[in-house]
Amino acid sequence: MAPEIETNVNNYTRFFAISREKTKPALKNKTSLVVATENVPGALYKVLGIFAIRNINLTKLESRPSKSKPWEYVFYTDFEGHIDSEVYQEAIKELEQVTTFVKVLGSYPQAE
């Protein structure tokens, strides 16, 4: 990545490189994932509850239209922590039971 790519000194946009290799846990980490749910009342509530009961701090939740199902949405989520930790592995297993799709995009060092 090119140094000093930003054009504004107050720009807080973060950039990261994508790789198929897993990162090793850093002191502070973030993990990004995408989930899809059935279009029924309470579906997102169940997803959020999985994180809440494990005290996993979500830092982002963004809905985007599904590319494959009109009028349905997928949810991009970031949380604090590295996917290799047992508590996060348990959360992913439970997410797989209450969602129609789960994809971990990866873990990476958290920006300061």
Domains and CATH numbers, the chain: 29-109 (3.30.70.260)
Positions marked catalytic? 13, 15
Q: What is the pTM of this model?
A: 0.80
Length of the chain: 112
Element (H, E) at 98: helix 86-98
Whole-angstrom distance between the N-terminal and C-terminal Cα of the chain?
Answer: 19
| pLDDT tens-digit map of 90-106 | 999 999 999 999 999 99
| pLDDT tens-digit map of 23-71 | 777 789 999 999 999 999 999 999 999 999 999 999 999 999 999 888 8
Answer for the pair 106, 25: CB distance below 8 angstroms, yes or no. no
In whole angstroms, give the CA distance from residue 89 to residue 100: 17
Q: How many CB atoms lie under 10 A from the CB of residue 29?
A: 20
